[in-house]
Amino acid sequence: MVRGWPGTCSPLLGDALPCAERLSRDSAPVPRARAGAFEEGTAEKVSTGALPGPLRHFLAQLDELRSGDILDMDQVGRLLVGLAADEEYLAPLIAQIPAESPGGKWLVKPDRGPRLVLFHRPEGMMACTHSHHCWVGVAPVRGVETHQRWHVVGREGGRAELRLADDRAMHRGDVATLTPPGDVHNHGHVVGTGPSPYSLILLGDNMYLYEREEYDPERGTWRRLAPGDEGRSHR
């Protein structure tokens, strides 16, 4: 079982990427999930042999958290924030990502189980509102990442009513964690909040294996994303 907010994260840009909560608790309930399990209830450890030291340490700690019956998303968030603070490891990776366009670098990408990507959105670019159908964590490394979580009040046909449940400008040291069915969210950069973000996105599984949803809160519409459909990359 997983503890944590159900939430969403911006769709990643495919296999070859071209291009919050403050750790003190707020009033939101803490999401919990079945320990690191896939949606069908099986768990798998990530092979760490060829990975850099910071990633090996991170994944070893994550596997330890996932080994119990309950995955505490507060602890997952703290772990992700710790890695996001590793400037020595992440700075050279950030330098490889073009600042003027959206894109990122996969750090961990097994077929199943936890995946980790370092992702950048340039100034003023916000992801479309979407779901993951697996748990997710987002932690800024640099810049300001605006994260919005939505509550789906109802859907009928192609229409959807959404209510903004959380809206935060996150800096390094902040984290947002979400679990289904409360994983409807969007994140990216809002002009005037500060520098555009480079953030770590940790996914509990390969979200493209699941049927997901994409929403447009302003128009009050939604559409179903078939497995493998990445959806629109940004608004």
Domains recognised in the chain with CATH numbers: 2-225 (2.60.120.10)
Distance CA 75, CA 186 (A): 22
- Residue 11 has what pLDDT? 34
Residue with tokens 């069915």: 181
Orientation of helix 73-84 relative to helix 87-95, angle to 10°:
70
Q: Model's pTM, two decimal places?
A: 0.81
- Residue 61 has what pLDDT? 97
Express the helix, strand and coil content of the chain in percent, nearest 5 each.
15, 35, 50
Which residue numbers in the chain have pLDDT < 70? Answer: 1-49
